[in-house]
Amino acid sequence: MNSIRKSKAFMAILYVLVFLLLAEWLTPVITLTDTGHKTLFLVFIGISLAMAYFQVHWGISALVKTFYIMWFLILGYTDTTFFSFEALGFILADLRVNLEALFAQDWADTTDIFRTVLFFSLLWMAVYLIHYWVSFRLSIFLFYILTVVFIAVLDTFSPYNGDTAIIRIMVIGLMLAGLLHLARWLESHRINETINRLAAYTIPLFLMVAVSTALALYLPKAGPVWPDPVPYITSFSGEGGPGPASIGRIGYGVDDSELGGSFMADNTLAFRAEVEDGQYWKVETKDTYTTKGWELSEPVAEPVLYNNGDLIETEFQPGSEEESVNAVLEMELEFPFVLYPYGIETIQMEEEIRYSYTPIDQKIEPMLNGAPYEPDAVELQFNEPAYSLTGLRETTIDKLAELPPEFDRYKQLPEELPQRVRDLAAEITADSETVYDKARAVENYFERDGFEYSLTDIPVPEEDQDYVDQFLFETKRGYCDNFSTSMVVMLRSLDIPARWVKGFNEGEQLEDENGIETDVYQITNNNAHSWVEAYMPDVGWMLFEPTIGFTGSSQIDFDLDIETSDSEEPETPERPQQPELEEEDEAAAAAEARGPGMWERLGEYVADNRGAVLFGMVASILAAVLLFVKRQKWLPKVLVPYYRRRKGEQTFEKAYLRLLKQLDLYGIKREDGQTLMSYARYIDSFFGTKEMTRLTASYEQSVYGGQPETVEWSELKESWENLINRTSS
């Protein structure tokens, strides 16, 4: 081994950088799969690299790593910290369960302990592979490129944010690549290193990388030249629709000025709600449509301040039920506002909080000592609004002209709104006599005419394109923002006051151990939602839900206070039932009854086992790289049986050339200009044989002597196999 590799200080720097690079692989895997004990995994990597650095015997190293993995399993999956007969028995019993599942090919029955062992095995293999690259090949380029690609792909296609990680990787990788290039250069020039010489080389390298990084971070940077890669890739499938697109992560945001683009699901828990029935949790409204999204007009009134327990007065008056309903929200994400249901009466928190209610956007913001406050828990009291069907039947069109000027901002529309949007709204509501009927007609319109709810392949409008017009007439594909914005715009085109509302829908109702539904709802970022509020003359503001698949606040009841007779049934403001399937749809219904196809099932499996699929992909890549690097050892085992069965005049020539390549992989390179016979004598002197000289003489006789028929492969086969087998040692 050359002197540079014997420098403990130099190699120690390399191994520290390798540890940091491996940590960048581990962090996103831990984050995306909700795996705990990141520190203990890092300790395992550190121990493995330390034993490789000190060249600990492989048997002792394997024993230490196995001991550590067993200790980790006992710590993570039992109630004990150290080894005990009970803990070891539990681990062995779990091993038996996994072995039975593997032999039965029932992969779903493998346990978390088994998956943890597989993850440790992956880390073990990765450390060995990088140790080989750094210590023997003095090259880290391939792993460096794979790391950059890995983080970039996760940052693009998953919720993981790799903005800072990619900077750390670039710094670590450049330092590693520079040091390893230095080591190869010193070896090729046979320069003996000293501490002073190494410092003279490494210190400028580190300073150059540090200065370059600082300049890259703090100098002004231009915006992105290329569009988002995800819609660029999907555009080739023809499913993206017209116009550019972008992909965001679903959740509650404050900037709605440019709507559109695809979203990725995010199961991050936002809050829990303990309440009798599911509610829509309102945050704010916006009133100005800009052809691209929503903005808030300038405030026209000062906010109203309330104390704990004060009656909150909003534009939705509490209902007439005798008893109010209590709700307790436990916040997981930090929001500087209160999420409240319709019919809110009072808000209560532990601290001395004041609540600022702004009529312009209906947002309730908690204040502590005059500063914004992010609550951990909120107790609410509310009484759901009730509406009279008699009053709704009297919402005649002529009453819209009698509304005061304060409603004008809820009728605002941009001058650039295409006329066909107004025409469509008029066509939809042509047979509706009241304001309420028109609002219901627009709300129900999206359940027909080919509209589809989806988070993916959603385009962003072009510069000269209207967001609503694009959705109604071109794509007909979108999520809540598309549906709710379109309904508000169409209602306003009919002079019906309407506004855009943001918040969260009901979420998922949890069940107890016996499968019985509880009063606890779990609301995640996936439940961030938008809907519509429209004003009914002489009745007030009402909630409408145009998005396909959503039902609105289920506890907003309608008070049917009209007299009924046997001959006339009261009208109920319910959505019309779906029409019966036509005969031509029977085939589609039969296909649906058969269940999802192979590709659908594969997609569901990948979605449900993202962690396992990710581990499998990384393991497969590392295994393929390891096989490629170690091909010098296993390739002879493939070549010998292959050429042993081959016959013909060309067999020996091909086998001889394959032997030359294998010797090159082994590390005995043929110098430029060196003759085959000279190279053969060197090989024989290296291995202590005469077989390479014999094979070379036969090859030259066959190729250059023009007598291939005199070369018998059967007589030379044993010598060839003997030499090529030596290269695998």
Strands 344-348 and 386-388: unpaired
**Phi, psi at 585, each rounded to 5°:** -90, -5
Confidence band for 2, pLDDT divided at 50, 70 and 90? very low
Strands 262-264 and 247-249: parallel
pLDDT top residue among 210 and 304: 304
- Using CA atoms, how far residue 359 sits from 296, 365, 446, 487, 548, in Å, is 12, 12, 30, 22, 29
Residues 6 or more apart whose CB falls under 8 angstroms from that of 240 comprise: 231, 234, 457, 459
Q: Which of 512, 508, 468 is nearest to 491 (CA)?
A: 468
Confidence band for 569, pLDDT divided at 50, 70 and 90? very low
pLDDT of residue 599: 63
pLDDT top residue among 393 and 498: 498
Options 3.40.1190.20, 3.30.365.10, 3.40.50.1110, 3.10.620.30; CATH for 388-517+527-563+571-576 is 3.10.620.30
Angle 475-481-247 (CA atoms, 0-180°, nearest 5)?
A: 70
Q: Which of 466, 480, 535 is nearest to 250 (CA)?
A: 480
Most confident of 251-260, 301-310, 594-603, 706-715: 301-310
Confidence band for 705, pLDDT divided at 50, 70 and 90? low
CB 386, CB 558: distance < 8 Å: yes
520, containing H or E segment: strand 517-524
Q: Quick one: average pLDDT of 516-531?
A: 90
**Token output for 718:** 């044993």
pLDDT of residue 254: 72
CB 175, CB 206: distance < 8 Å: yes
- pLDDT(631) > 90: no
**Token output for 585:** 């749809």
CB 499, CB 488: distance < 8 Å: yes
pLDDT top residue among 492 and 184: 492
Strands 344-348 and 377-382: antiparallel
pLDDT of residue 243: 41
pLDDT of residue 1: 42
Distance CA 685, CA 669 (A): 14
**Token output for 192:** 């003996």
Confidence band for 248, pLDDT divided at 50, 70 and 90? low
Strands 557-559 and 386-388: parallel
pLDDT of residue 419: 95
- pLDDT(562) > 70: no
pLDDT per residue as tens digits for the range 123-142 = 898 888 888 888 888 888 88
Between helices 419-428 and 435-445, what is the axis angle to 10°? Answer: 110
Q: Quick one: average pLDDT of 638-651?
A: 78
Confidence band for 601, pLDDT divided at 50, 70 and 90? low
Q: Taking all residues of the chain, what is their mean pLDDT, rounded to a whole number?
A: 81
- Whole-number percent of the chain with pLDDT over 70: 82
Confidence band for 566, pLDDT divided at 50, 70 and 90? very low
The b-or-e profile of 251-276 (16+ CB within 10 A means b, else e) is: bbeeebeebbbbbeeeeeebbbbebe
Confidence band for 483, pLDDT divided at 50, 70 and 90? very high
Distance CA 400, CA 535 (A): 9
Range name among 55-64, 422-431, 482-491 with the lowest pLDDT average = 55-64
- pLDDT(48) > 70: yes
Is the CA virtual torsion 150, 151, 155, 160 positive or negative? positive
CB 519, CB 276: distance < 8 Å: yes
- pLDDT(212) > 70: yes
- pLDDT(507) > 70: yes
The domain limits of the chain are 3-218, 266-386, 388-517+527-563+571-576, 630-726
pLDDT of residue 722: 85
Helix then strand then coil, in percent of the chain rounded to 5, is 50, 15, 35
Most confident of 177-186, 525-534, 599-608, 634-643: 525-534
pLDDT per residue as tens digits for the range 571-589 = 444 444 444 444 445 555 4
Give the residue ranges of DSSP H helices in 417-522. Answer: 419-428, 435-445, 467-470, 480-493
pLDDT of residue 555: 43
Most confident of 150-154, 371-375, 643-647: 371-375
Q: Quick one: average pLDDT of 58-85?
A: 82
pLDDT of residue 541: 92
* Amino acid (one-letter) located at 255: D
Confidence band for 214, pLDDT divided at 50, 70 and 90? confident
- pLDDT(223) > 80: no
CA 704 from centre of chain: 62
Q: Quick one: average pLDDT of 273-297?
A: 91
